[in-house]
Amino acid sequence: MENLPEILKENGYKKIKFKISKTQHLLIKAKINDVEGNFILDTGASNSCVGFESIDYFNLHANDSKTRAAGAGATGMPTKVSENNNLKMGRWEYQQFDLVIFDLSHVNLALKEFKANPVHGIIGADILQEGSAIIDYANSCVYLIKLKKIPVQSVLF
């Protein structure tokens, strides 16, 4: 559909480019708290996350969490959580965004084995759902929209 980008733009979607890595991962740049990092765009990850080593890099306030993380090849990993962060990808922005923090060394080790660059974290389904994502593989981009939330007090029953 050749006019899809035009239709999406007219409806408030923002276009964000990504690259496809040697490992076939979708790589995207994002800013957390105004600090740029490299991320994998992962529709199979339930939550967006960064590694423990990125806490200071992204100016995160990390709190302990009882939740355990699981991913490809690893389970029961301890986590921390960082609340109320600011996320920017291109011209799309999401404020008061929460992040899971856990050991991503197994992800970066696997990338290193394929001579691919390491990542700071993963942009997961939480963000993709928030932005009603449309992934355009043919043009190597994702479209996100900032949905207008209706304040609870203005909802009539």
Per-residue model confidence as pLDDT tens digits over 92-122: 999 999 999 988 888 899 899 999 999 999 9
- Provide the residue range defining the domain that includes 71: 4-154
Per-residue model confidence as pLDDT tens digits over 16-39: 999 999 889 999 999 999 999 999
* pTM, full prediction: 0.85
Structurally, how many domains does the chain consist of? 1
- Residues 13/7, Cβ–Cβ less than 8 Å: no
CATH of the domain at 44: 2.40.70.10
How far apart are the C-alpha atoms of 79 and 109, rounded to whole Å? 19
